[in-house]
Amino acid sequence: MTTIKTGNGVSAEQAAIEQQLTDRVLASFENTPDPRLKQLMQALARHLHAFIREVRLTEAEWNTAIEFLTAAGHITDEKRQEFILLSDVLGASMMTIAVNNEAVGNATEATVFGPFFTQDAPEIPLGGDIAGDAHGQPCWVEGTVTDTGGTPVPNARIEVWEADEDGFYDVQYGDSRVAGRARLYTDADGNYRFWALTPTPYPIPHDGPVGRMLEAVRRSPVRASHLHFMVTAENLRTLVTHIFVEGDPQLAIGDSVFGVKDSLIKRFEQQAPGTPTPDGRDLGDRSWARTRFDIVLAPENT
Ligand code: BEZ
Ligand code: FE
């Protein structure tokens, strides 16, 4: 049987030695001129020391942690950010979002940003198609953008991005394709509509240290199917979120980055081939889906 070490059971003398070290480290930050930096550094040291003491960290485990962080640094470049991935799978990204996006009335909930947003997505007209050459089932997405008082928000900027049916974003192909992403603007009544692809599940990049860590703890790298949104409008809080697909089996298994919120799970209604489309688009013998996502933006600075 494996012995689990804990901090309980150390002698009073040993506990005092450990506490003295923590106190010395905390005191070393006392002269930090920036009060926020001082708070951050002291809290970090306090929690880190408490962790090491609680689990009775071995020197071999300390080494493994250093090797892990070193590997995360080596695989990180301008396209691959292993440290954000680590934050994501530890729930630290979602906790930061929770802390910074307090619920305001009926405002739409935020979720994780992810690494696949790009600034340069093409603008499409209302009713346009974000798919480009990306493969997947066509999906009609429509809704309104309002403030928390129900007033429509005209000219809200909506940026949307998603993986193709093979589970890859355009930027993961290593060529210069732009597909599965676009930006568009709400009309005078706050309405929007566009064609996208019905989202499908895909794994976060798991060929690096974070993937090996997930494997060691028997966790799946797969994210629940989703479509990303970033919505920006004057005097309102920018919303970074996704919508998830009701009935997606991955919702029950769990989302690898803890991004799912019940309010963001939407019905994607399947439409048989030949069902007339909302804008008269001829999809031939292809099935399609449709969903509605009404977006409520919180006031700025809330
Ligand atoms: C994504 O949604 O694309 C994503 C989010 C977090 C980590 C990796 C991918
Ligand atoms: Fe994503």
Distance CA 181, CA 178 (A): 7
DSSP 165: T
Query: Measured from the CB, is residue 88 less than 6 Å from ligand 1?
Result: yes
Tens-binned pLDDT, residue by residue, of the chain (302 aa): 566 666 668 999 999 999 999 999 999 999 999 999 999 999 999 999 999 999 999 999 999 999 999 999 999 998 889 999 999 999 999 999 999 888 888 999 999 999 899 998 999 999 999 999 999 999 999 999 999 999 999 999 999 999 999 999 999 998 989 999 999 999 999 999 999 999 999 999 999 999 999 999 999 999 999 999 999 999 999 999 999 999 999 999 999 999 999 999 999 999 999 999 999 999 999 999 999 999 999 999 87
CA of 155 to the centre of ligand 2 (A): 25
Ligand 1 pocket, residue 116 CB under 6 Å: yes
pLDDT score, position 3: 61
- Per-domain residue ranges for the chain? 12-57, 82-297
Asked if residue 196 has its Cβ within 6 Å of ligand 1, the reply is: no
Nearest of 121, 79, 27, 85 to residue 223 by alpha carbon: 85
Q: 146 has which bridge partners?
A: 152, 296
Q: Which atom of ligand 1 is nearest to the CA of 228?
A: 2
Dihedral angle, C-alpha 102, 49, 40, 217, nearest 10 °? -40
Ligand 1 near 85 CB (within 6 A): yes
DSSP H helical ranges for 140-241: 209-216
- In this structure, the residue with its CA closest to atom 3 of ligand 1 is 114
Report the CATH number of the 82-297 domain. Answer: 2.60.130.10
Residue nearest to atom 8 of ligand 1 (CA): 204
Task: Identify which of 49, 52, 45 has the alpha carbon closest to the alpha carbon of residue 27.
Answer: 45
| pLDDT for the residue numbered 101 | 84
Q: What is the pLDDT of residue 29?
A: 98
The letter for the amino acid at 247 is G
What pLDDT is stored for residue 92 in this prediction? 97
Beta carbon of 210 within 6 Å of any ligand 1 atom: no
